[in-house]
């Protein structure tokens, strides 16, 4: 197949390997072309554009006419932004922990005990993921409202005399709703990781006399940390910037960074400031994620 063999037996240069190879290269180029174009324009270019916009002076033109760091420094210095960004990260961190902790036993069951029900259960758990996020959040609004399902049920059962006020429009409502909405996101990576654990390691632990709880805490849990981290990542990152949930069930006291960004692109109409907010929050998210990963790698992962 290699080029030196060409013409060895007096075969004319126009033999197979060379043209096929170049056709293969053309094939690869054309195969990568649509995906390359779409990802580089829709994802890379627009994200770069956002970064660029955050560095421009807002003078009424779409992309501004001069560079400045003022948007970014303002975004970092503004106490409101700092409060809201910190709150977003705290709430999302709580949501992430709650979601992953609640999902872990489900993934464990699916990986080790579900047997013939595994595929059915996996489908049941991922089905809500394919239904409208807006409607799932809206459902919690009905449940938690002052004159809503939970209060009317509690009163109907005679458990309370007056509606409980502290349900809707609180940070707790945001946490519950987000934890519910992102449940499927956490179960699947955990399940994939637990399912892929080498069974012979677990057998070895049992053979060497590990009790079931030791087997879990010393073998399964540490080995499943990559799955835990993957699950945490796919829950944490999107929830920090969530807009729908704080808007529908959060009330004014629990607005999150997505709310502020939307306001800059909506009512306030200050796109450069909005872009700067987005850039600052993505950086903050990246710092939290990398710091958490470093901590987990240092303290939790087995050597």
Shortest reach from residue 208's CB to other proteins, in Å: 11
Question: Which one of the spans 1-9, 30-38, 65-73, 76-84 is the region binding other proteins (CB under 8 A)?
Answer: 30-38
Q: Which is nearer to other proteins, 10 or 266 (CB)?
A: 266
Shortest reach from residue 295's CB to other proteins, in Å: 20
Q: Which is nearer to other proteins, 76 or 133 (CB)?
A: 133
Quickly list DSSP for 85-131.
Answer: HHHHHHHHHHHHHHHHHHHHHHHHHHHHT-GGGHHHHHHHHHGGGGS
Among 75, 173, 215, 229, binds other proteins (CB under 8 A): 215
Scanning residues 102 to 121, which ones bind other proteins (CB under 8 A)?
Answer: 102, 105-106, 108-110, 112-113, 119, 121
Residue 56 pairs in a beta bridge with 67
Among 11, 18, 42, 294, binds other proteins (CB under 8 A): 42
Shortest reach from residue 37's CB to other proteins, in Å: 9
Q: Is the dihedral of CA 253, 254, 259, 261 positive or negative?
A: positive
Query: In the block, which residue shows the tokens 């910037």?
Result: 241
CA nearest 276: which of 123, 81, 127, 145? Answer: 81
How far apart, in whole angstroms, are the C-alpha atoms of residue 54 and residue 63?
9
Question: Which one of the spans 6-14, 33-41, 167-175, 221-229 is the region binding other proteins (CB under 8 A)?
Answer: 33-41
Tell me if 36 contacts other proteins by CB under 8 A: yes
Question: Which one of the spans 1-9, 71-79, 165-173, 272-280 is the region binding other proteins (CB under 8 A)?
Answer: 272-280
**Is the separation of the CB atoms in 173 and 117 below 8 Å?**
no
**Is the separation of the CB atoms in 240 and 92 below 8 Å?**
yes
Scanning residues 146 to 205, which ones bind other proteins (CB under 8 A)?
Answer: 147-149, 151-153, 156, 180, 183-184, 199, 202-203
Shortest reach from residue 135's CB to other proteins, in Å: 5
Q: 165 burial class (0-12, 13-18, 19+ CB within 10 angstroms)?
A: exposed
């Amino acid at each position: 197949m290699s080029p030196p063999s060409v013409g060895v037996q007096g075969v004319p240069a126009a033999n197979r390997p060379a043209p096929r190879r170049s056709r293969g290269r053309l094939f690869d180029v054309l195969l990568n072309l649509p995906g390359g174009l779409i990802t580089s324009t829709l994802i890379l270019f627009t994200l770069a554009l956002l970064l660029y916009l955050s560095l421009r002076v807002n003078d009424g033109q779409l992309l501004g006419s001069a560079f400045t760091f003022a948007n970014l420094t303002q975004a970092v210095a503004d106490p409101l932004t700092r409060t809201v960004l910190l709150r977003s990260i705290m709430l999302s961190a709580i949501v992430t922990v709650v979601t992953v902790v609640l999902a872990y036993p489900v993934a464990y069951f699916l990986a080790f005990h579900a047997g013939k029900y595994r595929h059915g259960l996996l489908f049941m758990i991922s089905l809500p993921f394919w239904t409208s996020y807006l409607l799932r959040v809206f459902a919690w609004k009905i449940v938690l409202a002052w004159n809503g399902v939970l209060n009317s049920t509690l009163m109907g059962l005679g458990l309370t005399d007056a509606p409980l006020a502290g349900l809707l429009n609180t940070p707790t409502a945001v946490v519950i709703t987000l934890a519910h909405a992102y449940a499927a996101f956490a179960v699947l990576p955990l399940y994939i990781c637990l399912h892929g654990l080498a069974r012979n390691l677990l057998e070895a632990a049992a053979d060497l006399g590990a009790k079931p709880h030791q087997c879990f805490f010393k073998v399964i849990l540490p080995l499943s940390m990559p799955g835990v981290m993957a699950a945490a990542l796919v829950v944490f990152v999107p929830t920090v910037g969530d807009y729908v949930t704080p808007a529908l069930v959060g009330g004014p006291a629990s607005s999150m960074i997505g709310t502020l960004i939307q306001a800059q692109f909506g009512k306030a109409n200050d796109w450069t400031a909005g872009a700067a907010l987005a850039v600052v929050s993505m950086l903050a998210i990246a710092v939290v994620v990398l710091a958490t990963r470093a901590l987990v790698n240092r303290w939790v992962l087995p050597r």
